[in-house]
Structure 1
Amino acid sequence: MQGWKFQYLEEVESPAELPVLMPAIRSQHFRWNKGAAECARKNLLKSLKVQSGFFNKLHAFFHLTNSSIFIIILLAALLSVPMLFVQQAHPELEGVYRLGSVFLLGFLSIAFFYWTASRRLFPRRSWQYFLRLFPPFLVVSMGLSAHNTLAVAEGWLGKKSPFLRTPKFNILGKEGGWKENSYIRSGLSWLTVVEMLLILYFAFGLAAGLYLQHWSLLPFHLMLVLGFSLVVFYTLRGR
């Protein structure tokens, strides 16, 4: 907004520790997504009003609202189950339902985005390596959608909360442990209970799709069941 020019230096690296526990991942993602929403709340309208080119404003819009995608993912997931019964009750709208498959192209754009980054960072690794990691990444991202939606909502609504840093354990390779670390908090949060209920909800959607023989949403519901199950399992394991 001030007309500054930025240059990203890929060769400049900063050592960092990746989260080794799901609670640590959740803490990190909550802070990232809430912070992004807070920045959008503060700067989105300003960025659209400044004297700048159309593509600069478009870039700013998508950059500032990137974390809000989790709200859309969760809403689409929640509405997909009743959609099975709407589709069953109104078969005359089959053409409209098929148009929804256009949105599957979004997965291709995400795949291309991460494939480009993967090839840039690891040029010697094959596409099989990417295909082995990308589906689990999508599944876990879906499983974090409820958690990240809460973070984004708090950011947009301006709700204040303590700054919770990502737990660090100084684990190098296979050495070190985390079970006795003071960062580990015991107990079951209400959000984890909600995620457990979502497992049942999407499992019902999966069963309903099989019973009604509506196959189009089966992969989506299967990914949601696996995603929330993995997130809940590793959350409980890390406490």
Structure 2
Amino acid sequence: MMVFVQIVFLAVSLLLTFSFFIYGFNHYYLLSVIHRYHLPPLHQDDYQKRPLVAIQLPIFNERYVVRRLVAACAQMVKRYGTDHAEITILDDSNDDTVQLVDEVVREYSLQGLRIGIQRRSDRQGYKAGALQLALEQTTAEYIAIFDADFTPRDDFLIQTIPYFLLDDRLAIIQSRWTHLNRYFNRITSAVAIGIDVHFFIEQTGRYATKCFQNFNGSGGVLRKSALIEAGGWQADTLAEDLDASYRIQLNGYHILFIKDLPSPGEIPPTVPSFKKQQARWANGSLRTAKKLLHSILVNQKFKLYQRVEAFIHLTGYMLHPMMYISFLLACFGTILDVDTFLIHSHMLTPFGGAYTAFDPLTATQIHNLSWGVLDTMIVVSMVAAWLSPLVSLKLQKLSILKNLSALLVLFLLGSGISVSNTIEAIKALFTNQQWEFKRTPKYANINSKEGWRERKYQVPLDFVFLLELASVCLGGIAITIAILHHHYAVLAILIPYTTAYSFVSLLTLQQSHPQAAV
């Protein structure tokens, strides 16, 4: 029986190792191609045309940031031309944000801007539902979308719209997110690096190699006709932006990523708000994978490498279940005293062929080679996790030394949220329930002198905290047993994960409000 358990543990470990290697190797691939990035040329005359643009601002209870958002968009409209742009606030709020929106609209209407409000009797479809209703009502061919925490530059439309006029198969333009509150605290500094990796490495690399890309839900412009042709906004995933992006590209359209056009936005300043955002992204992306991945993989119009990259992109959040399973394997393997290194005489080598078919010397050489290759794959995967953040810092000319603490916090966050995101992966892949779109709270925090605790929209504790706490206890037990039994190698897995879960669970407890209403 123990041999069977050992084989199961080893088989799962090998599968995880190969899977981590695939995702890690993809980062090396993207890093190797980002230098190919370039934009199609524009001429001075291309900037003179001003087609009608609809600026749509989906909000829900955003009392702290809505005025700042509309003010930035108003400046953008004034520079682009008040006769050529309209602003619509898609307001699903049910608090005093409603009165604030009314005041802001009156204020800018008096300044001659075309600005209005869309309100619904319910939140059916959440953000996707609001966007779909606005899509059906606008007469503009181009739609710019900004979330409530963004403050777009006044030249945003001038820098994006000309590209649409040169290419009728261009459906989406995405700008690069930057960060209003990057240095608010350690959490925002760490998350900023993670977002930078997405834009400087992933988006840039995929654009450079003509792979599938995604509209990030804010800081972008869409061609209305292409979106309608693809079925519009659909609410069956929590990632309507990712879902629409892929459906549009399956129709033969493409996406332009403008790396040098920044769109400043806020980063969640607390662990609970960050976990809430990541949970929605994880659930939504995996639901999109379940919905569209098969049609992508069998579509011969796209090259094999494009389909493989799409698979890695859409299933990227599977890394968190893989991380949590790795932790659980290490814990239970230690507690049950499962030694996978002693079963080579009872199984096939990773390359096929039983050890017993060879003489002892050859068997030993195969054993050493097999585990050497696997160790190399593990190291390659680990280095990839650190290399991309370092490159993103270098590309921005930010000091790596000054960001070492942020990099450490990024590691703790990235590993620590694997518990909550594993729950979201299970919900996405194994249920068909339409889960609630839980907004990320914004507090308009720009510098460290501004607090957030006294503000509304605090995130409450939930049952995931108990699971994180249980994981900390399990890790502590496994670490103790490993030390007592002199199994020091497994500590390389147990200590980092247990530390990460301790970090996340402690800050979740400190920064959550037990009776918060969101």
TM-score, normalised relative to structure 2: 0.43
Q: Corresponding residue for 1:87? A: 339
Q: Is the 8 A contact 1:199 1:228 kept in 2?
A: yes
Q: Which of residues 152, 168, 174 is equivalent to 2:442?
A: 168
Task: Identify the range of structure 1 (6-15 vs 65-74) with the bigger mean alpha-carbon deviation.
Answer: 6-15
Distance change >3 Å, CA 45–CA 112, structure 1 → 2: same
How big is the shift at 1:37? 0.6
Unaligned runs of 5+ in 1: none
Q: Corresponding residue for 1:109? A: 384
Q: Is the 8 A contact 1:115 1:130 kept in 2?
A: no
Report the Cα distance in structure 1 between the residues aligned to 2:383 and 2:267, rounded to whole angstroms: 27
Task: Identify the range of structure 1 (100-109 vs 160-169) with the bigger mean alpha-carbon deviation.
Answer: 100-109
Distance change >3 Å, CA 129–CA 172, structure 1 → 2: closer
Give per-residue Cα distances to partners, 1:32-85, cap 9 Å, x unaligned: 111111110111101101121111111111011101111111111101123231
Considering Cα pairs closer than 8 Å and 6+ residues apart, tell me whether 1 or 2 has the greater RCO: 1
SS in 2 for 1:11: strand
Show the 5 A alignment for 1:82-231. 82-84=332-334, 85-87=337-339, 91=342, 93=344, 100-101=374-375, 102-121=377-396, 123-126=397-400, 128-129=401-402, 131-157=404-430, 158-186=432-460, 188-231=461-504
SS in 2 for 1:6: strand
Task: Identify the range of structure 1 (212-221 vs 68-77) with the bigger mean alpha-carbon deviation.
Answer: 212-221
Are 2:5 and 1:5 aligned? no
Show the 5 A alignment for 1:29-44. 29-44=278-293
How big is the shift at 1:100? 5.0
Distance change >3 Å, CA 105–CA 135, structure 1 → 2: farther
Report the Cα distance in structure 1 between the residues aligned to 2:395 and 2:456, rounded to whole angstroms: 38
Report the Cα distance in structure 2 between the residues aligned to 1:60 and 1:132, rounded to whole angstroms: 33
Distance change >3 Å, CA 170–CA 238, structure 1 → 2: same
How big is the shift at 1:116? 2.1
Distance change >3 Å, CA 220–CA 71, structure 1 → 2: same
Q: Corresponding residue for 1:59? A: 309
How big is the shift at 1:28? 0.6
Q: For 1:56, give the aligned amino acid.
A: Q
How big is the shift at 1:98? 6.7
Distance change >3 Å, CA 139–CA 100, structure 1 → 2: farther
TM-score, normalised relative to structure 1: 0.89
User: Identity of aligned pairs, percent?
Assistant: 19
Distance change >3 Å, CA 19–CA 185, structure 1 → 2: closer
Report the Cα distance in structure 1 between the residues aligned to 2:443 and 2:321, rounded to whole angstroms: 31
Q: Corresponding residue for 2:322? A: 72
Q: Which has the higher helix share?
A: 1
Report the Cα distance in structure 1 between the residues aligned to 2:487 and 2:264, rounded to whole angstroms: 48
How big is the shift at 1:4? 2.5
Q: Is the 8 A contact 2:273 2:459 kept in 1?
A: no
Q: For 1:72, give the aligned amino acid.
A: M
Q: Is the 8 A contact 1:22 1:231 kept in 2?
A: yes
How big is the shift at 1:97? 6.8
Report the Cα distance in structure 2 between the residues aligned to 1:106 and 1:97, rounded to whole angstroms: 15
Q: For 1:3, give the aligned amino acid.
A: G
Report the Cα distance in structure 1 between the residues aligned to 2:269 and 2:419, rounded to whole angstroms: 21
> Which is higher, the Rg of structure 1 or of structure 2?
2
Distance change >3 Å, CA 236–CA 203, structure 1 → 2: same
SS in 2 for 1:28: helix
Distance change >3 Å, CA 144–CA 193, structure 1 → 2: same
Q: Corresponding residue for 1:18? A: 267
How big is the shift at 1:99? 6.2
